Amino acid sequence: MFTKLNPATAHSQDQLVWKVLFDRQTALLHRRAAPAFAQGLAKLGLRREAIPDIAELSATVFEHTGWTLAPVGRPFEPGAFFELLAERRFPIVTRIRPMHAFDFSPQPDLFHDLFGHVPMLLDEGLADFLHMLGQAYCAQPVGSPAREQLWALYFFTAEFGLVQHEGQPRLYGAGLLSSAGEIHHCVNENTPRVVFDLATVLRTPVTGERYQQQYFVLPAWEQLTECVAELAGLLAMA
């Protein structure tokens, strides 16, 4: 499914995929993305012209929030993924989708990770939230309902979350920021977008649907970190 990629010597086809995706997403995200995304993108200096160097981006992210980026060959199982989050490390898949799968990548690829996740890692609130989630997940027994609930919380925030900003829901989940199809589906007037409620999110199953059936909207950005305090009491009880 994926073409092998070394960012330093990336094939021109990979560079083209990056450039076209970058242009399309930045146009689509104008006035649709959360302010933290645009701020992160500017601080990173991501450009359409070239796939960025992961080590350089990692150094910039470290300066801002103490996180580093860990290049990996393919997406991880949740257990290994959350172990990295607990160490303030974020895995970056070093392969980009091929042109024939341009519109839809069923698994995270380099564009999803670098364009969707990394700008948000420069936001202190989201960075601390992900760290806490990694620690909480690793503290729960393997196969426990609490781990499923924490996976759901990660999924409906860092992957597909929205936040209210100046009266409008804005996108901050990487699965939205990196996918034109998911954005169009999410902003459709017939798609349910409900107010974020921690207990509800914890009991909402993660499905393998191509697009999400509903999205959760934080009333305010601060609520992402504030919900951590009530998390312990709700785990396995939601």
What are the binding residues for Fe cation?
112, 117, 159
List C-alpha distances in Å: 165 to 31, 155, 178: 10, 21, 20
Cβ within 8 Å of residue 233, ≥6 positions away: none
Residues 159-178 that bind Fe ion (CB under 5 A): 174
Pairing of the two strands 68-72 and 89-93: parallel
Report angle CA 50, 111, 190 to the nearest 5 degrees: 135
SS3 for 68?
strand
Neighbours of 201 (CB within 10 A): 21
Listed ranges 73-81, 104-112, 195-203, 204-212: which one lies at the site for Fe ion (CB under 5 A)? 104-112
Nearer CB in complex with Fe ion: 52/108: 108
Residues belonging to the binding site are 112, 117, 159
CB of 167 to Fe ion, least distance (A): 28
Structural contact between residues 193 and 220, judged by C-beta atoms closer than 8 angstroms = no
Per annotation, catalytic residue among 112, 131, 179, 182 = 112
CB of 2 to Fe ion, least distance (A): 15
H or E stretch at 212: none
Nearest CA among 61, 185, 35 for reference residue 114: 61
Contact with Fe ion (CB under 5 A): which of 7, 91, 108, 169?
Answer: 108
Per annotation, catalytic residue among 58, 105, 131, 178 = 178
Pairing of the two strands 168-171 and 215-218: unpaired
Listed ranges 90-98, 108-116, 192-200, 214-222: which one lies at the site for Fe ion (CB under 5 A)? 108-116
Residue 133 contacts Fe ion per CB under 5 A: no
CB of 166 to Fe ion, least distance (A): 26
Per annotation, catalytic residue among 131, 159, 179, 182 = 159
CB of 117 to Fe ion, least distance (A): 6
What residues act catalytically? 112, 117, 159, 178
Contacts with Fe ion by CB under 5 A lie at 108, 174
